[in-house]
Amino acid sequence: MGALGICAALLGGGQGMTQAASPVLTIYSGQHPATTDALVRAFETSTGVQVKVRSDDEGLLANQIVAEGSRSPADVFYTENAPPQQLLSEQHMLARLDKATLAKVKPAYNSTDGTWVGVSARAAVLVYNTKKISASQLPHSVLDLAKSQWKGKIGIAPSETDFQPLVTAVNDLKGQSATLTWLNGLKSNSTIYNNNEGLVAAVNRGEVAVGIIEHYYWYRLGDQVGASKLQSRLYYFGNHDPGALVTVSGASVLASSHNKALAQKFVSFLVGKAGEEIIARSESYEYPLGSGVQTAKPLKPFAQLEPPVLPLKDLGDGRLAIQLLQEVGLL
């Protein structure tokens, strides 16, 4: 309590006056910390609300929220991908978002039950080393990477939650048998990396010729090493191929939150013009989805990505992808 608050309490002590504590909004975030921090700082400045952020792997956070149940201190769940949101939605742990919040984003990028909203998007791509392989040698489909001619040329990071929606997309579009064949081929052909940052750096230095990533990792590498020093480029599969999958970063309000009004306000801020413009200008290199805001970064136009026709709900909660990856020994 500040000096003025102390004085007020002392002066009114005989009448039982007290000063109510300001609420603290708690966010469990699986999004990249720099993006989350920029959004949180702007929200705190504009509202005066104190925000506490717990950052970790989104899958771990989702499982923690399930374990915490109604005792969870989380008010808002902010993720890089939709499956962790879907997991909590299916557990009936998310509150319905305000209609005005959902209306700021096209329905295709929101949950069908209104429990989470799409904040930004990213595209699956193939990054390739220009000294190891030419553009004309690149595959027409991500499924081609399971063929024998790609042995020793590929890098993947299957333990990343970013990889799971791609596995689910292949399964939804091609069936489980074809997905297992593809995953076994990838396992045979690939060098395994712990994360996408390590993978994109390995491709850039020529350790492997190509790698399956999401587009923004390559742009961030350019910031680190200098765009003029990049020895790699991005290849977009397009043509509605599973490898052209577009995934969504989402936000939700926990049904157990004791600060629901503030939590709803924060999620609305994320997809409002102020929040989306922060994303558009930030080094996240993601595509903003709300309030008609366009990216300010030199990305491939969102309308030209040609992803597979696959509703977000069909990406499920991630459990099937994990099961398939474990079955072939990639997890």
pLDDT value of residue 70: 95
pLDDT value of residue 17: 42
φ and ψ at 147, to 5 degrees? Answer: -75, 155
Pairwise CA distance, residues 202 & 109, whole Å: 32
Pairwise CA distance, residues 286 & 99, whole Å: 24
pLDDT value of residue 10: 34
Q: Which residue has the tokens 């923004």?
A: 216
Pairwise CA distance, residues 104 & 240, whole Å: 26
φ and ψ at 246, to 5 degrees? Answer: -105, 125
Q: Which residue has the tokens 């499924």?
A: 143
pLDDT value of residue 65: 98
**Mean pLDDT per 10-residue interval, the chain, length 331 residues:** 38 43 91 94 96 95 96 97 93 97 97 97 97 96 97 96 94 97 98 97 98 97 94 97 96 98 98 97 95 95 95 89 97 94
pLDDT value of residue 316: 87
pLDDT value of residue 22: 78
pLDDT value of residue 12: 41
Number of other residues whose CB lies within 10 A of the CB of residue 247? 25
Which amino acid is it at 109? Y
Q: Strand 154-156 relative to strand 210-214: parallel, antiparallel, unpaired?
A: parallel
φ and ψ at 29, to 5 degrees? Answer: -125, 125
Domains, the chain: 22-121+247-300 (3.40.190.10), 122-245+317-327 (3.40.190.10)
Which amino acid is it at 327? E
pLDDT value of residue 20: 53
pLDDT value of residue 321: 95
